[in-house]
Amino acid sequence: MERFTTGGPWESLYGYARAVKAGPWIVTAGCTATVQGDVRCVGDPAGQTKEAFRIALDAIVDAGASVGDVVRTRMYITDPMHADAVGRAHGELFGVVKPAATVVVTKLLHPEQLVQVEVEAYHVPDFPDEGDGLERRAEASVSADLPTWMVAEGMSGDGLSALADPLPEGLL
C-alpha cells in the first residue's frame, strides 16, 4: 500500500493522505477548491468542481494512473440548485470516461465551499507492447492549472486541454 500526501496542514493535523494506492485501486480523500487555506472560485459551483477535481486527479496521476482509469466519482454539494452546474462541469472532465457518479447534498466545513469530490481509479500497470495499441499510459507531468492528462476530443473550456489517447472501447 502506498500513501500520497501534498504536505497540506489538514493532512498531518487530521492524519490522512490525499490518495491511497492499494493494489490496482487508487482512492482520494475528499477534495475541495481550497488551496493553501483559501477557497477558490467563491460562489461558482462549476469552478469549484473543476478545481476540486484538479486536486483529486493530480493525486491520481501522482499515484501512477490517469483519468481513463477513473471508475467512480462522488460529488458532495451544499445546495441542490448547484447540481446542474456541478454535473455539467463533471461532464466536461469525464464525458469520455463516464465513471459511475454520485451527487449528495450536504453541509461542508467552510461556508464558502460549495463542492467536495472524491475519485476512485482502478489502474492496471502498462501492458507489454504487443503492437495492438492497447498500452495504457499515465501522464505524470501536471501543469500548474490542470493536469496534462486532460487531452481528449470534445473536452474544452476554461483552459481545459483534453484527455490523452482515449482508451479503446472495452478497456474501461
List pLDDT tens digits, range 75-128: 999 999 999 999 999 999 999 999 999 999 999 999 999 999 999 999 998 765
pLDDT bin (cut points 50, 70, 90) of residue 129 is low
166: cell is 482515449
77: cell is 454539494
Task: Return the pLDDT at 126.
Answer: 73
What distance in Å separates the CA atoms of residue 126 and residue 19, rounded to the nearest whole number? 20
Q: Is residue 49 over pLDDT 80?
A: yes
Element (H, E) at 9: helix 9-14
Single-letter residue type at 152: A
Of 6-10, 64-68, 90-94, where does mean pLDDT reach its minimum?
Answer: 6-10
Angle between helices 83-94 and 45-62 (to 10 degrees): 40
Query: Please, is 151 exposed, middle or buried when counting C-beta atoms within 10 Å of its C-beta (0-12, 13-18, 19+)?
Result: middle
CB 136, CB 171: distance < 8 Å? yes
Give the CA angle between residues 142, 146, 151 to the nearest 5°.
85
Q: Is residue 21 over pLDDT 70?
A: yes
CB 119, CB 70: distance < 8 Å? yes
Q: Is residue 144 over pLDDT 60?
A: no
Report the sign of the C-alpha dihedral through residues 24, 94, 82, 109, in that order. positive
Residue with cell 474501461: 172
Q: Is residue 163 over pLDDT 80?
A: no
